[in-house]
Chains A and B, each alone.
Chain A
């Protein structure tokens, strides 16, 4: 009996190790430990074993059973491992490129706009939006632009024919002329008319001037403007905002300075210069980056805010100009050509 058991184990060892797949394994398992299996048959012979030999024989049978089970487990593990291995193809070459055009990219104007909006959101400015088709009132009158100001000329501003109607662009007076906004300041007016102070908005958006397209001019371009209205707002607050914006954007070594200037809707008004020598292609010590000032009392009066109570500041700049400065781009037309070799540089 003992010899039979030993032979059984030895045979199982050889046979199981050679099994190629699961069906053959199942068949082999049945041949060994199934109801009609060889080991099962031997165990059934226990009754014929003399009583005094039974403990030893029982032990032997159990050991054999355990041994066979181990062999079965090992064989199953081997087959399973083989099955998983079969699911894999040959080893990959990790240096081959992934097919498809990915990854997607954000346009550099979006990247710069969103960065500015994030910086401004940290100090309480949320993004406002308004129509690109505007009327003379929102684009000029409300911003203190004299009726015969050159900016209103058909030479400089795109107008629509008197027959054109825009169903969702409100006019202050019936028959007012529609035009394409020349700046995003019209959003400030609409926001002030819609709500009550205090106000803190940033309005990025597309603007239009009747201009020849060249390396630095474009018929449409993008601006970003901030408006802050509250009580006791000062020139110093305005300077603090500009310092904060550009230090956040360009690093703590960045300096800003104000130069007195003139805009119809702010008083006093300033142009903002930036000193950021670390930027690419910046050769001058100071570069002009935008305009700002304290909201003119006249503008407040026009939107029904009492200028004795409310004060505020506004700041505006060109997004293309900022992006050109940040990335060292020297031709504004690249933003509108969308050559993939351009777009893929900024992601």
Chain B
């Protein structure tokens, strides 16, 4: 809200500097967003002049060549002028050569259409004092020639653009801010004194307003209407226009301006009707009917609903209550009789309607935050005073007052000690009490307590609905004491009460791992496009993960995987010519299963061929097993040992993985899922990413991570030497190594029996080609035997190996490769 300093000074004798005032407003709790200076800026070389001669310009129809007397110092100047609104003998502002007008407009000696010109006669706009650019600013007071213009024009103003927090609707007004500043500087506050106090001038004109009925008292606890007869619509006085302009409002006419002026003064919105335009000379405050229409002042037709409150005449709505008037009932230049509305509307009703219609206004802004329920009548009187002052007329009546002031009686009992306890430092009791009084929170009782300080009973004025509990008064005391005076202290830090959340520790651990393996950590948006999700995940996910109200089309769905964001990062870097290869991310993903979505913690990585990064020393390119290595490490951080999990090849086109070159373990039914391998070449290419991309992702329910941590048991191990044997098996090319290994390990374990132990069975060679039949491959395994008690001798190990070979030959189709 914009607050004018000149205006504030009507109520409180402020003499602090602008900086001090800014600081005060800030520490009272209102952020000063901007300090603007308005009105006449300091103007040098602009003086009062008088037009002595006005001749038509010889070469231009619309220009005149004038002789202008600028006083004893300047003499008579020849000035070419395009304005039309002046006559010989008028006194006007003259910018002499060398003057600098607002906008850094330097006045120079010039030639206009061949005619020399020694300066410029100015409009109000050119001087920066008003918006009026229609002609010269005629100085009707005829100040002395040569007088510097600043001595003639009203002084400039300082305007504070401040943010009013939603809890302080009382400060959406100059009086409200004046009250705060009076409290801060401990200065007296003078309220405007209304001459009109409700006594009507004359017998009344009942036919101008035959009735006011409020049919929805719940939405409108108080409705007042006064009739003013015989006004003359015209411009409002200069002082009022200046103030309105200063705070960013456009002057309209005297009556509308008064309404705005009083709203900006008191915070109470008002509305003026042309009495003759009210059908049936009736005002009915009621809910709209569904589908009822009203063209509002902004020229738009609004369709209303039965939850919306309107002010209607006998036939139709004329105002959307508290929000905006209709085109059909407003004040127009020929209006002579007014009905002035000043009402209290229920906040929630106004807010609902405003949101629903997408329509707001200064009035709406105040009503939806809450208007002082006891200020309405004062504001009406104030407006009537100002209308009579600026537009003439008489408050003839009838006057209506429907509903009553909402009863207001609020007291809070608070003790000095309570406030000190909450603050953590002492403020003397007299200072606290003085703070209350300064804010017009009247202390009605002060009583001693068994503790150090007194207890106060504090009366809360009707405009301070935000103050309801003792804690609310702590803030008032602290505000006036100054929040910049909170004394320093040591942090109170007893020991830790817990440990970091398991998800946090998981993210940290996997990020450390990946960064340690040369990955660059990325952060991508959570919201992705529908197309991407239906292409890369499933049609179902594209339905289930959709937002109800996305803001932009390509951010309409929750991400089910981190891979897509990482691919986008690859593409962005590639398109910028930046070689990127290893990228990773941690964060939430959302996985759909059986119509339910699950929010999971996830870590993902991609490894792309580093395009464009030529290297003087080639290194081995990443492959499926690089992805497997990292995926296994990440799964381990989630408490999943991939070596013990069945790994299945990913099949089907929908998952974004390359069939035959990718694998999966786990499902959301188990609470976790791991996917890794090569991303689908065609899909990656379609995204605009070049080259092969290997990737991996681990997703796990947060609750699963929390339970994943169990303490491992130590298993004893032998310090004696091991006996190593190799065994190569020829199997069908399609058989998976792990299936063979597992069977071999079982067979070997059975062959060893209890004599000693089989420590490990690992595949160390895979061979296919010359020497082997078509469609077969050789898998070579190393077997490690060891005893906890003794060094094994060759004979016993060889005997076991023979048993293994015999069993393999007997029970499988595999051949022992000699």
Contact = CB atoms under 8 A, between A and B. Distances in A.
Given A148-B352, A160-B547, A220-B527, A236 B424 contact: yes
A198 B578 contact: no
B316 to A, nearest CB: 28
Interface residues of B, number: 100
A159 B548 contact: yes
Interface in A272-321: 294, 296-297, 311
A174 B770 CA distance: 68
A178 to B, nearest CB: 9
Interface string A223-241: 0000000001111110111
B701 A240 contact: no
B548 A154 contact: yes
Contacts of A199: 497
A340 B610 CA distance: 13
B549 A240 contact: no
Given A168-B598, A259-B483, A239 B422 contact: no
Given A99-B618, A260-B483, A124 B551 contact: no
Most buried by A among B28, B486, B501, B573: B486
B515 interface: yes
A124 B578 contact: no
Contacts of A338: 520, 522-524, 569, 572-573, 583
Interface in B293-319: none
Contacts of B555: 219
A305 B551 CA distance: 38
Nearest to A129: B501
B667 interface: no
Nearest to A169: B599
Interface stretch (A23-31, A47-55, A57-65, A204-212): A204-212
Interface in A122-142: 122-124, 126-129, 131-133
Contact of B703 (A168, A268, A296): A168
B422 to A, nearest CB: 6
Nearest to B352: A148
A167 B489 CA distance: 46
Interface stretch (A14-22, A32-40, A105-113): A105-113
A144 B501 CA distance: 26
B702 A271 contact: no
A345 to B, nearest CB: 11
Interface in B1-47: 26-29, 31
B517 interface: yes
Contact of B526 (A168, A208, A337): A208
A233 to B, nearest CB: 8
Contacts of B516: 104
B521 A132 contact: no
A77 interface: no
Interface in B549-593: 549-552, 555, 558, 569, 572-573, 576, 578-583, 587-588, 590, 593
A241 to B, nearest CB: 6
Most buried by B among A219, A243, A268, A344: A268
A165 B582 contact: no
Contacts of B587: 206
Given A101-B579, A110-B521, A239-B486, A211 B493 contact: no
B775 interface: no
Nearest to A124: B493
Interface of B: 26-29, 31, 165-168, 348, 351-352, 355, 421-425, 469, 471-472, 474-475, 478-479, 483-484, 486-501, 503-504, 508, 511, 514-527, 544, 546-552, 555, 558, 569, 572-573, 576, 578-583, 587-588, 590, 593, 595-599, 610, 613, 615-619, 701-703
Given A124-B497, A343-B521, 8 more contacts: A99-B618, A200-B496, A206-B526, A211-B551, A311-B422, A336-B525, A339-B578, A344-B520
13 contacts: A96-B616, A104-B582, A106-B521, A126-B496, A129-B501, A158-B527, A180-B526, A235-B424, A239-B489, A240-B491, A260-B28, A267-B469, A267-B474
